[in-house]
Amino acid sequence: MSRYKKMGLSISVPLILLVSCMQVAQAIPDPPFDPRRSGLATAVLAGGCFWGVEAIFESLNGVKEAVSGYAGGSKPNPSYEEVSTGATGHAEAVLVSYDASVISYGTLLKVFFAVAHDPTQLNYQGPDHGSQYRSAVFYSDPVQKETVERYISALNDAKAYPGRVVTQLAALEAFYPAEDYHQDFLVRNPDYPYIVYWDLPKLKELEKRFPNLISTRSP
């Protein structure tokens, strides 16, 4: 992660920087292909630092659990320090376990692309740079793959963002949970400078744009 996270610096971030760190989609369309399912299902999504992404999905009704971890690389059971070098190929990712009869995979994708991160930033998010912070969706079956493919095409066709979506789409080979101190980091450290400057604004945007999706157990 960036020096902001490791050192916990009390930095002053201009408002214009907070606004420019994420191109908020103003008219993001619904997924054009979103088959309904039932029962417990999982999604693995990467959108920069996993602290904020985890908190976003833990806020949603129908999500049972969100776990920060690593996916997309070649090294088994990587450590945070190893992933942070960018040499493992892994991205900081979040495993979302959800009740598909309450919230659909397509709805998770809509939140992911609308407020969880900026899908037009290639290999970085906000102050964090490197392939370990890339935007990625790791699909576990052909239906998830088709859903993501169609949705990314719809977002680009609708010009939902000033730039094109650069999100990587890859088959999920493995997911490795991150160290315990990364789990529920926002809930346990709401005053941490990085959380205040980069993640809490995303939660505010979630509440503003998707109030009907917020769970009563929201962080």
- pLDDT (mean) for 48-54: 98
- pLDDT (mean) for 88-92: 98
163: pLDDT strictly greater than 90:
yes
Per-residue pLDDT, 14: 39
13: pLDDT strictly greater than 50:
no
Tell if the pTM clears 0.75, that is, is over it: yes
Q: What rounded mean pLDDT belongs to the chain? A: 90
* DSSP helix, strand, coil percent of the chain (3-state; round to 5): 40, 20, 40
**Inter-CA distances, 74 with 71, 92, 174, Å:** 9, 14, 9
Per-residue pLDDT, 27: 79
6: pLDDT strictly greater than 70:
no
Among all residues, which ones are annotated catalytic?
A: 49
What is the three-state SS of 115-168? HHCCCCCCCEECCEECHHHCEEEEECCHHHHHHHHHHHHHHHHCCCCCCCCCCE
Residue ranges covered by each domain of the chain: 3-9+37-210
CATH class as words, domain 3-9+37-210: alpha beta
